[in-house]
Amino acid sequence: MKTRDFFANGLTTRRLNLLSGIVILCITNSLSQTQLDLQGKPGSADDVAKIEVNYSGTDNVIGLSVRSEPSADYGYGGYFYGGRRGIIGESTSGFGIYGYSDSGYGIYGRSTSFYGMYGQSDSGIGLFALSSNSFGASVQSTGYHGALFNGNNSAGYADIELGGGNWYSGSDDGVIMSDSMKPGSDIFLVANDGIVMQIGHNPAEDASFEIWNTNDQDMLLKVNEAGDMDLKGALSQGSDINRKEQITEIDVANILSKLVDLPIQEWQYIGENVRHLGPMAQDFKAAFDLGKDDRTIAAIDADGVALAAIKAQQKILEEQGEKITTLEGEVYGMKEEITQLKSLLASLVSSK
């Protein structure tokens, strides 16, 4: 191991040539002191300061290691500032950027006009951050996006992968949560087009999309990989007249007639062992021409047909009631006439 002393601002630092890498050790006495300053050719349009190391073939070789001591001074191990990018990490097979901290930020990136943090790798991990007691990575930008993640989607890779993997032991769950210390912290998903969620990627496990309340004991909504949905509480569909147009009256008797002719069958979905009762979407579409296609039946359309049929049936019952009342009056009149005829006949018989 070769050691060479440098003198910067009156303080001594050392460069250690270790495994063909370079380690810069900054002994921090004051947060405002610059103890080692590397500068390149003034006025150069390219690199201001450049450190190159040869790769020896050892897996753990360090290209550049920067550390600050003592840790109680809360010093930065390394501070990088640029007009557009503070630091760029690239790797062809490993980590583009790797950060580790026992109690603070593994990686902290901040920008006032561009990416707070940017990591890229051709075949490994573009950015890896690990902390034992705080945030693995903290990314902030006051003038642009906090972070950009871009994976090879065409090859089946995600932009962001949560949980799982060989980098740590424990649960394979991926968790996204807002700051629990801030009551008003929400999570927003914003997309230029659609937001797509895929479940059941692992066929060996049952998959579902679930929404729970805060005590994790009460499930509010669940959608399984077969498309079945369990919902606690009422399902409200929009029906505000202010959101509707082309409103027309209907012939409820015609709806009832079509409903009478609509086949109603018992069936089950393919691959399931749960029985259901209802019409086929194709028959429903052909009968009423409602909904967006002939493969689905909207609950609001089925409800509308049922309500229209009930109204038509009620009208029939009312008409039948009126007829019954009329017939009952006629029967009552006939009974009165019969009674009078019987009385007259009795008088004739007694007068003889």
Give me the residue label for tokens 């393919």.
Answer: 270
Number of CB atoms found within 10 A of residue 259's CB: 19
- Average the pLDDT over 125-149 and give the result: 75
pLDDT of residue 263: 97
Q: What is the pLDDT of residue 168?
A: 43
Query: Among the listed ranges 15-19, 92-96, 329-333, which one has the minimum average pLDDT value?
Result: 15-19
What phi, psi does 138 have (nearest 5°)? -125, 125
For residue 278, which amino acid is it? G
Structure confidence at residue 277 (pLDDT): 96
8 Å CB contact between 143 and 112 = yes
19-23, 67-71, 85-89, 195-199: which has the highest mean pLDDT? Answer: 195-199
Among all chains, which residue has been given the structure tokens 């009156």? 10
Residue 76 pLDDT: 64
Cα–Cα distance between 314 and 256 in angstroms, integer?
Answer: 11
Non-local (6+) Cβ contacts of 4 within 8 A are: 14, 15
**Higher model confidence: residue 78 or residue 54?**
78
Please tell me the pTM assigned to this model. 0.57
Reduce the DSSP state of residue 341 to 3 states and report it.
Answer: helix
β-bridge mates for residue 119, sequence order: 89
* Mean pLDDT score of the chain: 76
- Concatenated DSSP letters of 171-208: ---------TT-TT-------SS--------STTS--E
What pLDDT is attached to residue 13?
Answer: 39
CA atoms within 13 A on the CB side of 137: 16
**83 confidence band (pLDDT: 50, 70, 90):** low
E strands present in 208-264: 208-212, 219-224, 229-231
Cα dihedral 93/95/25/16 (nearest 10): -10
* Helix/strand/coil percentages in the chain, nearest 5: 25, 25, 55
At residue 326, the pLDDT reads 94
pLDDT in tens, 274-321: 999 999 999 999 999 999 999 999 999 999 999 999 999 999 999 999
Q: Report pLDDT for 187.
A: 85
Q: Which residues pair with 22 in a beta bridge?
A: 17, 64
277 versus 181: the higher-pLDDT residue is 277
Give the Cα separation of 128 and 160 in Å (integer): 12
Q: Which residue has the higher pLDDT, 122 or 266?
A: 266
**Whole-angstrom Cα distance, residue 18 to residue 65?**
11
Report the amino acid identity of residue 145: H
Rounded Cα–Cα distance for residues 34 and 36 (Å): 6
Q: Does 27 have pLDDT greater than 80?
A: no
